Amino acid sequence: MTDAPKAMTDLIDLMARLPGLGPRSARRAVLHLIKKRGQLMGPLAEAMAQVSATARECLNCGNIGTTDICEICQSEKRGNGMICVVEDVADLWAMERSAQFKGRYHVLGGTLSALDAIGPDELRIPKLLDRIASEQISEVILALSATIDGQTTAHYIADQLPGVTVTSLAQGVPVGGELDYLDDGTITAALKARRAL
């Protein structure tokens, strides 16, 4: 048996590195793309090149956009004195889909973990503390995982924000990379039932 040409096996190897795909599903996906190269593969390649050239992290909040400061941070309307702190951009997107939260975000990019050498500086926490003052924030909502690392991070942040109301999403609601799997109603309920930390 002869292998596919090198360019194609390279593509398969790259695809197999995507979350949720393994070597088998990557082979299937690439085969599908090649069969539909006119309608699908060409436009996909163009879209990828475009996003790859323009995507960047918001210097203020860590959201992903195409400008140095993302649309949410630029919008006057979103400056309502509330910041929702999330672990991941996927959580931010999930919150936005539910369209309930009208304030701004701060994306940490993970949780504190001494064992994994992830400290406050790796998590944009100093930037968050700056923003509390410069954006006249009155309430910080922590939407972090219920794991030990998530809760350590929540308390670490809360500990340094005297004078600001710090709340967390209702207990029992899985958050932190998991917001993504929740329906809008559940996110809305968790937001309404948020509690002082």
How many residues lie near Zn ion (CB under 5 A)? 6
- The nearest distance, CB 73 to Zn ion, in angstroms, is 3
Assign 3-state DSSP to the chain and report helix, strand, coil percentages, each to 5. Answer: 45, 15, 40
3-class DSSP string for 1-20: CCCCCHHHHHHHHHHCCCCC
Residue 13 or 159: the one with the smaller Cβ distance to other proteins is 159
Pairwise CA distance, residues 127 & 97, whole Å: 25
| Binding flag, residue 60, Zn ion (CB under 5 A) | yes
| Binding flag, residue 73, Zn ion (CB under 5 A) | yes
Residue 51 or 181: the one with the smaller Cβ distance to other proteins is 181
Is residue 196 within 8 Å of residue 161, measured between CB atoms? no
Pairwise CA distance, residues 40 & 42, whole Å: 6
Residue from the set 53, 114, 133, 196 that interacts with other proteins by CB under 8 A = 114
| Binding flag, residue 63, Zn ion (CB under 5 A) | yes
| Binding flag, residue 155, other proteins (CB under 8 A) | yes
Near Zn ion in 76-115, by CB under 5 A = none
Q: CB-based burial of residue 109 (10 Å sphere; 0-12 exposed, 13-18 middle, 19+ buried)? A: middle
Residue 6 or 195: the one with the smaller Cβ distance to other proteins is 195
Q: What is the Cα Rg of the chain in Å?
A: 20
Is residue 147 within 8 Å of residue 176, measured between CB atoms? yes
Give helix 148-158 / helix 125-134 axis angle, nearest 10°: 40
Residue 84 or 125: the one with the smaller Cβ distance to other proteins is 125
Residue from the set 60, 63, 145, 151 that interacts with other proteins by CB under 8 A = 151
| Binding flag, residue 167, other proteins (CB under 8 A) | no
- The nearest distance, CB 152 to other proteins, in angstroms, is 5
The residues binding other proteins (CB under 8 A) are: 112-115, 119-120, 148-149, 151-156, 159-160
